[in-house]
Amino acid sequence: MSDYAVFLAVTDRTAQRMPTFSLTSLTIPSGRLGEAEQRAASALAVLPPGVAWPDVEPAVRRQVVDRVREVPHVAVDHVEHDRPRAGAWVCLRACLADLATNSSLAAVAHRPHTVHLTGHPVPDPTAPLLVDAEAVHVDAEAHHPALARLTALLATAAPASVTGALPDDEDPYDAFDSYTLGGLAEAGSRSPDSPSPQ
């Protein structure tokens, strides 16, 4: 059995100039996956389906952030491809490699883990983070809809969180004990507060 479940939201922004792709991951201890799904569902119950974080009223944001704190987790990570544009797959692969080596996932990537994907498909199962997974599920919404939705919602909150535009009590990343957030790392320096897996 996997030690961790990694929910991964892949956002395709190739229609924009930069960033080309972004990845948002939510890592859950596998033994608490059922509890995490229930708590995520409770936290998101006040939101309409498909809403993006910028469209949520501030009072509701604060309520959701408070409830999300109760979701069992290891960490949350978000990386954007903020380098000069290359081919789409090159950009996506660079983001996956960065998550696997320069975020809290660096401590998880070589431990037994399962990846649950949502958003843009990843065309190559040999990509970093995926290649060492015990399983890769491309239909996260079908099995863990609340956790898939929470990960996708975090992706929509990332741009405002990166720029510091959100107060802490309205920033869903602030609900997590450990997170990394930003562009591709320079020499492995992007993850100052990565946790040690238990």
In order of their start, the domains of the chain are: 4-183 (3.30.420)
Sign of the CA dihedral with 187 first, then 176, 8, and 165 last: negative
Count CA atoms within 13 Å of residue 92 on its CB side: 20
The whole-model pTM stands at 0.88
List pLDDT tens digits, range 99-157: 888 888 888 888 899 999 998 888 788 888 898 899 999 999 999 999 999 999 999 99
63, exposed or middle or buried, with CB in 10 Å at 0-12, 13-18, 19+? middle
Nearest to 195 by CA among 1, 42, 48, 4: 4
pLDDT of residue 24: 95
Quote the CA–CA distance of 32 and 123 in Å, as a whole number: 29
Given a cut of 80, is residue 22 above it in pLDDT? yes
Q: What is the average pLDDT across 52-71?
A: 97
Longest CA pairwise span in the chain (Å): 43
Q: How far is CA 31 from CA 23, 140, 145, in A?
A: 24, 17, 18
